[in-house]
């Protein structure tokens, strides 16, 4: 039995199977190709990491937010790194962004990101709402892309 275009009805399952295999192949290969093009390294126009220098004799934790001007009241700021050991240097990646340039410049109209340095013992000892309510951070820095470029993408405590 044939349909209007002369294709046997028995051929439908074969044709559908062949077409579906092509689509499945495409759906599986495209994500790998896209992932291969993603570069996890910093580039001139896209910085994913900053260097943290802890010159203090205690471990620190670093948090950041682009919710300028008062991100401390926002519970949504992100952890950069919870474990920066005393008297050490560590290159860290901001966990919630692709490029610092894009996030800082487009997240808010002022192009400013706040970075908070905390004593790690405080982070481990108190609930987050208490830390925020009493502003228990050691240091707060308001940063622009120019600030980060001028510091060679390095943040230092103290």
Cα torsion angle, 142, 145, 149, 150, sign = negative
Per-residue pLDDT tens digits of the chain, which is 158 residues long: 555 555 555 655 665 566 666 655 555 565 554 444 454 666 777 888 899 999 999 999 998 887 776 655 554 566 677 789 999 999 988 766 678 888 787 777 788 888 899 999 999 999 988 988 899 999 999 999 999 999 999 999 99
Partners of 61 in the β-ladder: 118
Cα torsion angle, 79, 114, 41, 60, sign = negative
Q: How far apart are CA 115 and CA 154, in angstroms?
A: 12
Q: How far apart are CA 152 and CA 12, in angstroms?
A: 63
Instruction: Pinpoint the alpha helices (H) of 38-150.
Output: 100-107, 120-125, 128-133, 145-150
């Amino acid at each position: 039995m044939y349909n209007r275009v002369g294709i046997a009805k028995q051929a439908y399952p074969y044709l559908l199977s062949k077409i579906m295999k092509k689509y499945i192949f495409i759906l599986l290969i495209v994500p790998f190709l896209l992932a291969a093009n993603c570069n996890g390294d910093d580039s001139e126009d896209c910085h994913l990491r900053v260097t943290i220098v802890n010159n203090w004799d205690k471990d620190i934790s670093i948090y950041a937010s682009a919710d300028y001007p008062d991100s401390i009241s926002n519970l949504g700021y992100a952890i950069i790194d919870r474990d920066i050991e005393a008297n050490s240097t560590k290159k860290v990646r901001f966990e919630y962004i692709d490029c610092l340039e894009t996030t800082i410049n487009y997240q808010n109209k002022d192009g400013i990101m706040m970075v908070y340095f905390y004593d790690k013992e405080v982070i481990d000892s108190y609930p987050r709402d208490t830390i925020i309510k009493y502003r228990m951070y050691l240091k707060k820095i308001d940063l622009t892309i120019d600030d980060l470029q001028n510091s060679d993408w390095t943040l230092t405590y103290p």
